[in-house]
Amino acid sequence: MNVSDVVVVGAGLFGLTVAERLADRGMDVTVVDRRAEIGGNAASAFCPRTGIEVHTYGSHLFHTSNERVWAYVNRFTTFTSYEHRVWTTYRGEVFPMPINLGTINQFFRSAMGPDAARALIAEQAAELDGREPANLDEKGISLVGRPLYEAFIRGYTAKQWQTDPRLLPASIISRLPVRYTYDNRYFDDTHQGLPTDGYGAWFARMVDHPRIDVRLGCDFFDPTQPVHRGAVVGQAPVVFTGPVDQYFDLAAGPLAWRTLDLQQEVLPTGDHQGAAVMNYADEDVPETRVHEFRHLHPERAYPKDATVIMRERSRFAEPGDEPYYPVNTPEDRARLATYRELAAQEQGVHFGGRLGTYKYLDMHMAIGSALTMVDNQLADLP
Ligand code: UDP
């Protein structure tokens, strides 16, 4: 290949942000991705039968409290005023999620105010004796007490992770707020919304630059491709956002990931479930959640007699499956430490993004960390 000034491997939000910033700095950037579309797991496509925007890899909600990230993304798209709300079905009854005063009062068939509810939950979390929660199990109990934990978190988490919750990091559950008000928004962030004309239009604008060359269907590990590891590393700086273990040929063993089975269906109704996302807390219901995409854009003129849903199930990723969530058991963390050492020694290659750092990153986190990499690690590139 004609080596450009820099090669970005992976066209997810991390890679797109790095590419856009470096092109703006005057560098020629080649972006490669083995998929046929840009945007990583945030990609979406308009369903040809209904015109409904379907989030190909499950619902992606943009939210951030980071002003720099918010200003940055607004250069490429405007956002709707959509605020995400989720419900969960438990034993044949629907509750608001995340756990808030409405969930608590419905669950206990009570009419407590915030102080009474706090006191009750504190009592039900007392088994921890004020100890710092060491894992997801303890964190869940400390946040909402055992009865609510067992109803809304234990079964869902068992389906989502199939891993003993005592081996999972507390941070997984810290993502969800617990509120002693009736505010049932899923996110606490200052800014939230969905790209007005869709994720695809947003991402296309990020790479619509004469210095950016995007090559899709190009696997960086395939030596028959013009842009591949052997041809590029050492010739040009590389920003690698693919799986870090794959980059080092699994030298320290594979890092465990969860993958999702997503089953899409068009139904002949204008509304299937009344909300964008319905979680299923019961362990004996195989789905973790069902998405209904029309509800993400109430402002759009979508058909009144058809809707698109997506049933989501979770399982361990096998070789060849799409990695979604890092499992992060102690064994994974030990292997990751080795990969981090190898990555630090790998001259001219910068590892970033969810797959490159084995960290679950929301969209705004991927963008924020890409901006930081451009400022720091990549500051010396021309
Ligand atoms: N979670 C849960 N019950 C729910 C929703 C979430 O126990 O109804 C837990 C579960 O462990 C999950 C974590 O909270 O993995 C994070 O959920 P979130 O909805 O943030 O996950 P994402 O949408 O990113 O997959």
53 is catalytic: no
pLDDT digits 0-9 by tens, 103-133:
999 999 999 999 999 999 999 998 888 788 9
Q: Give the model's pLDDT for residue 382.
A: 66
Polymer length in residues for the chain = 382
Within a domain: 155: yes
Q: Are 297 and 82 in contact (CB under 8 A)?
A: yes
Statement to judge: residues 198 and 342 lie in one domain: yes
Phi, psi of 84 (to 5 degrees): -75, 135
Within a domain: 186: no
Within a domain: 271: no
Contacts of 307 (CB under 8 A, 6+ apart): 50, 52, 266, 267, 269, 270, 271, 272, 292, 293, 294
pLDDT digits 0-9 by tens, 314-334:
999 999 999 999 988 889 999
Domain limits for position 146:
97-172
360 is catalytic: yes
Ligand 1 centroid, distance to 294 Cα (angstroms): 22
362 is catalytic: yes
Statement to judge: residues 20 and 166 lie in one domain: no
Which atom from ligand 1 is nearest to the alpha carbon of 324?
25
Within a domain: 309: no
Within a domain: 359: yes
Q: What percent of the chain has pLDDT over 90?
A: 90
Q: Give the model's pLDDT for residue 129.
A: 83
Amino acid at 281: A
Which atom from ligand 1 is nearest to the alpha carbon of 140?
7
Statement to judge: residues 119 and 73 lie in one domain: no
Ligand 1 centroid, distance to 111 Cα (angstroms): 26
Within a domain: 177: no
pTM of the model: 0.95
ipTM over 0.85: yes
Out of 21, 35, 154, 179, the active site residue is 179
CATH number for the domain harbouring residue 231 = 3.40.50.720
Mean pLDDT of 132-159: 94
pLDDT digits 0-9 by tens, 244-293:
999 999 999 999 999 999 999 999 999 999 999 999 999 999 999 999 99
Q: What is the DSSP letter of 322?
A: P
32/64 Cα distance (integer angstroms): 27
Statement to judge: residues 16 and 74 lie in one domain: yes
Contacts of 149 (CB under 8 A, 6+ apart): 140, 141, 143
Within a domain: 260: no
Out of 154, 229, 258, 294, the active site residue is 258
From the list 310, 328, 193, the residue with the least C-alpha distance to 258 is: 328
Where a domain ends, among 121, 144, 172? 172
Out of 137, 213, 245, 312, the active site residue is 312
Which atom from ligand 1 is nearest to the alpha carbon of 59?
23
Within a domain: 68: yes
Band of residue 24 on the pLDDT scale cut at 50, 70, 90:
very high
